[in-house]
A and B are shown apart, each in its own frame.
Chain A
Amino acid sequence: MADDNLYEVWGDTVDSRHLLAAIAVGAVCSLGAFFLAEHLLTGWVESTQMARAYAMLLGILGSLLGGGVSACLFKPKRHVVEHVTDPAWRLQVIEELRAEYGGIGQLADLPPEVRNELRELGLEQLFDNAEPATREMPRHAAPALKGGAA
């Protein structure tokens, strides 16, 4: 897979040559199914309108077939890696949460069921260290007060 044809289209990366070919496959399958069905059914089904509705259904199935063929022909342009949690990432999340929410909160404030959940996930220690029970005031209290006075 040459990387010099990669583009971001509609939210994901594609290879422009594969995209062109996939569109051609999609068009051929869907239109082929639609016209063929229309041609065969018009004589068969009494009402022309119903014949056309069934032709549309088959055309849509044809476009799904086109999608399936394209999926077989062209592999996704994605690197999928199995995610391993890095302890550094966890600490980074704690810092981002502190910045966003203005504090992490005390474990003691949590209902017992939530504490159990944290313990089972092995996250209790992390959150306890983030805001130890001994600290009296959260860090953000001072600026918040100043803002209120001004």
Chain B
Amino acid sequence: MDALFDQILIAALMGVIGAVVFSAIGLISGSDETTTLAPLTLLVVLLGVPAAGVFTFFLAGAVAKHMTHAVPTALLGIPGDTMATPLMREANFLRNLGVPHIALRKMISGAVIAALVAVPLAVLFAVLLAPFGDAIKQGAPWVFLAAAVTIAYFSAGRWASVLALLPFVLVIIALQTLTGQHGVKLSVSYFLGIAIGPLIAALFAMLAPAERARMKRSEPRTFSLSPDVKGWGGWFPNPLKVLDRRQAGWTLATATVSSATFVFSPVAMTVILGEVVGARIKHAYHRLTSVISVRNGVTESTYIAEALIPLIAFGLPLSPVAAGPAAPLFNAPPRFTVDAATGQVNNLHNLLSAGEFLAFGMLAVLIAILIAYPFSMNFAHRAASFVSRRISHEAVIATFVGLILVIGLWEGGLLGLLVILTIGLLGGFLYRFIGFNIGVQFMGYYTAVLSVPAIVALFA
């Protein structure tokens, strides 16, 4: 009984830490989910935090981030992170109408409703899919290959991304062989290199005269910060009152649909489901507010489902979120591993039961809501003003450069750093020029680790 109590206490504590940290990170524009969630979750795993605590940290962080990312999106007109980009159009319309606070409230209320339904639904779908788990594990190398090609085709690069998988995978294998000769086995360095690639590519571009001329700006960017009007008493406005009944209904329906479709890109699902709802609403104002509520709801539900379903049902990272920001829940050697040859997994999948995933998942979502929802409802304007006036972009970049150096040296010394640099530069440029996005690159990594040995065995 005491052990159970301790477990719940640690889970709650880690959930609070995750929610607080990621509520703050959500306010900083451009703080992509993969570049922030993946390394910090990895750290929590490697520090030996118990399984339940690792899980609540990740989930509370993801849920909180997708609430506070609404603050810069609604009030400053800059996307809070990658998942906020599909919300920009509606947010800007509402901002120019002079009602950014409505955009903000609808977004976070949609997020609350969607997050609450997504956890039980994701666990349910996972339990339904679990009987196929063994078959999928047996064929894991081939499933990953198929998933990599599919996710590549649906990225912005289409066939260019599919073909670019070949050299990308080859480079990873070559680097693994090289570091292997020196007795260094890396994985985190690849994740970080992929996640931080766009920054590395941008810093290199700065050094090349022609690219540098293209990045030159004559004046600082202007951001117009919208006023925030508080229209309720107390700290915790009821999300079901902020949304009207139809909006709440659409948010529930789309959260349900997006909880089931866990293999697609979360950004794509956000765009598509927003369009589906928008097409059914005649009045322009109602359409704007409904689409923005639904879309932010979907950012929560796809994230939750894409992390939970593969984790509970298979233990294999078979979705864009599972392969990217949630990767350390699956694979964080030496603690969590996915074995290529046998399809054997040793990660949260084995450490928690479906019931525990449900209970700790709900705990994480509730903690995130209790922290991020009243915070973004009450302090949005002050937070956006502080971040835009005090936190320079130089400081954000300096923090990430420090992160790269520490993680690289920690995992593989100089070789680790060089691998981050190589993968980051290659991946960053491929993303910039052909739209070979981060999700595809993560699948490329898994193809190199899981599928290639099976392919080689086939021809041996």
Contacts of A80 in B (CB 8 A): 222-225, 385, 388-389
Min CB–CB distance B204 → chain A (angstroms): 11
Within 8 A of B (CB), among A67-103: 67-68, 70-71, 74-83, 85, 89-90, 92-94, 96-98, 101, 103
Q: Chain A residues near B407: list those with CB within 8 A.
A: 56
Contacts of B409 in A (CB 8 A): 31, 34, 59
**Contacts A82-B227, A83-B225; A76 near B93 (Cβ below 8 A):** no
Whether B388 lies near A111 (C-beta < 8 A) is no
Minimum Cβ distance to chain A for residue B186 (Å): 14
Q: State in angstroms the CA–CA spacing of A120 and B98 once bound together.
A: 13
B199 lies within 8 A of chain A by Cβ: yes
User: Which one of B283, B289, B393 lies within 8 Å of A106 (CB-CB)?
Assistant: B283
CB of B146 closer than 8 Å to a CB of A: no
Which residues of chain B in 112-154 are interfacial with respect to chain A, using CB atoms and an 8 Å cutoff?
none
Q: 0/1 per residue, A15-45, Cβ < 8 Å to B?
A: 1101101110111011101100000000000
> Would B47 and A6 count as touching, CB distance under 8 A?
no
Query: Knowing A78-B220, A79-B220 touch, does A53 contact B244 (C-beta < 8 A)?
Result: no
Known: A6-B218, A30-B403. Contact between A55 and B244, CB under 8 A? no
Whether, in the assembled complex, B217 has its beta carbon less than 8 Å from a beta carbon of chain A, the answer is yes
A114 lies within 8 A of B286 (CB): yes
Determine the chain A residues whose CB is within 8 A of the CB of B226 once the complex forms.
83
CA–CA, A110 to B289, complex, Å? Answer: 13
Stretch at the interface among B2-10, B300-308, B319-327, B394-402: B394-402
Residues in A with CB closer than 8 Å to B212 are 7
CB of B238 closer than 8 Å to a CB of A: no
Residues of B within 8 Å of A21, CB to CB, are 394
Give the residue name and chain of the A residue nearest to B224 (CB).
Answer: A83
Complex: chain B residue closest to A63, CB-CB? B402
Q: B405 CB to closest chain A CB, in angstroms?
A: 5
- Looking at chain A's contact residues, is the secondary structure mostly helix, strand, loop, or mixed? helix
With an 8 Å Cβ cutoff, the count of chain A residues facing the other chain is 81
Question: Which of the residues A7, A60, A81, A92 comes within 8 Å of B223, measured between beta carbons?
Answer: A81
Determine the chain A residues whose CB is within 8 A of the CB of B174 once the complex forms: none
Q: How distant is B268 from chain A, measured CB to nearest CB, in Å?
A: 20
Interface residues of B in 11-49 (CB under 8 A from A): 29-30, 43, 46-48
Residues of B within 8 A of A133 (CB): none
A107 shortest CB reach to chain B, Å: 7
Q: From B100, B199, B403, give the contact of A60 (CB < 8 A).
A: B403
Q: Is B392 an interface residue (CB 8 A)?
A: yes
Q: Is the CB of B395 within 8 A of A71?
A: yes
Select one of A3, A70, A98, A106 contacting B392, CB under 8 A. A70
- Residues of chain A within 8 A of B46, CB atoms compared: 53, 56
For A70, what are the chain B residues with a Cβ–Cβ distance below 8 Å? Answer: 392, 394-395, 398-399
Contacts of A8 in B (CB 8 A): 215, 217
On whether the beta carbons of A109 and B282 are closer than 8 Å, the reply is yes
Determine which of B216, B222, B396 lies in contact with A67 in the assembled complex, contact meaning CB atoms within 8 Å.
B396
- Contact of A114 with B225 in the complex, beta carbons under 8 Å: no
Residues of the B chain whose Cβ atoms lie less than 8 Å from the Cβ of A117: 102, 244
B224 and A76 within 8 A (CB)? no
- Residue of A9, A27, A53, A82 touching B225 (CB-CB under 8 A): A82
Whether A10 and B30, one on each chain, are in contact in the complex, defined by CB atoms closer than 8 angstroms, is yes
Determine the chain B residues whose CB is within 8 A of the CB of A13 once the complex forms: 217, 220-221, 393
A-B contact pairs, 11 of them (CB 8 A): A8-B215, A10-B393, A13-B221, A19-B397, A22-B392, A53-B47, A67-B395, A67-B396, A103-B284, A117-B102, A118-B285
Please give the residue numbers on chain B whose beta carbons come within 8 Å of chain A beta carbons, in ascending order. Answer: 29-30, 43, 46-48, 93, 95-100, 102, 198-199, 202-203, 206, 212, 215-227, 231, 244-246, 282-289, 334, 385, 388-403, 405-407, 409-410
Q: Apart from A49-B334, A62-B406, what are 5 other A-B pairs with CB-CB below 8 Å? A: A60-B402, A80-B225, A81-B223, A81-B224, A111-B245
